[in-house]
């Protein structure tokens, strides 16, 4: 797990398709992000508050959202590069009694 802790956003793992804002990000601004070891210029598509996630790769509907190198849920809309990723466009895969989902068995 690599942590890039300087700058406007933090990318935790090279597999991640989201980064975490450590400043309030404004729509239209361009920020420098280290994605998979490469310095990349990312255009912020929507305001992203401090602590919230921003897409650093396009995430089509139904695809896993990856942070810490692990799935943290599934997108429910097509999410474009630089868009805010939160409860409005992704859902948890776990503990969803409201969907009558069975308990998922994790493989070791």
Partner 1 sequence: MDIWGYRRPDGRAGIRNHVLILSTIVCANEVADRIFRSVEGVVPVVHPHGCGQLGVDFEQTKRTLVGVALNPNVASVLVVGLGCEKMEAKMVAGEIAAGGKRVETLVIQEAGGTSKAVRQGIDLAEKLVRQARAVPLAPISMEDLVLGLECGGSDTTSGLAGNPAVGVASDMLLADGGTVILSETAEIIGAEHLLARRAVSGEVAQELLAIVRSAEGDAVRMGVDLRGTQPSPGNIAGGLTTIEEKSLGCLRKAGTGQVQGILKYAQAPPGKGLYVMDTPGQDVESVTGMVAGGCQLVLFTTGRGTPVGCPIAPVIKITGNPRTFETMEENMDINAGTIIRGEETIDQVGKRIYDLMRAVAGGQLTKAEVLKHYEFAITRIGPSI
Closest approach of Cβ 34 to partner 1, in Å? 13
- How many Å apart are CA 12 and CA 5, to the nearest integer? 9
Span from 28-36, 37-45, 55-63, 91-99 in contact with partner 1 (CB under 8 A): 91-99
Smallest distance, partner 1 to C-beta of residue 97, A: 4
Under 8 Å between Cβ of 79 and 58:
yes
Angle at CA of residue 12, ends 9 and 16, nearest 5°: 95
Q: Are 20 and 51 in contact (CB under 8 A)?
A: yes
The residue within the footprint of partner 1, chosen from 22, 27, 40, 78 (CB under 8 A), is: 22
Interacting positions 51-90 with partner 1 (CB under 8 A)? 51-53, 65, 67-68, 70-73, 85-87, 90
The yes or no reply on residue 14 touching partner 1 (CB under 8 A) is: no
């Amino acid at each position: 797990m690599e942590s890039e802790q300087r700058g406007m956003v933090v990318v935790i793992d090279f597999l991640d398709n989201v980064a975490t804002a450590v400043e309030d990000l404004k729509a239209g601004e361009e920020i420098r992000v280290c994605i998979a070891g490469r310095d990349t210029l990312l255009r912020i598509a929507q305001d992203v508050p401090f602590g919230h996630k921003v897409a650093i790769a396009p995430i089509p509907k139904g695809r896993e959202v990856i942070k810490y190198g692990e799935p943290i849920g599934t997108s429910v809309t097509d999410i474009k590069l630089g868009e805010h990723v939160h409860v409005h466009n992704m859902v948890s895969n776990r503990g969803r009694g409201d969907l009558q989902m069975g308990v998922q068995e994790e493989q070791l």
